[in-house]
Amino acid sequence: MLLQVSVSDELKTLVIVSHDIETSVAISDTVFILGREEGQPGATVKQEIDLVERGLVWQKDVRREKVFADTLDEIKASL
Give the chain's domain count.
1
pTM here? Answer: 0.80
Host domain of residue 10: 2-78
Query: Residue 33 forms beta bridges with which residues?
Result: 47
Rounded to 5 degrees, φ, ψ at 6 are -65, -30
Spell out the per-residue pLDDT of the chain, length 79, in tens: 666 766 666 677 888 888 999 999 998 899 999 999 888 888 899 999 999 999 998 888 999 999 999 999 999 999 8
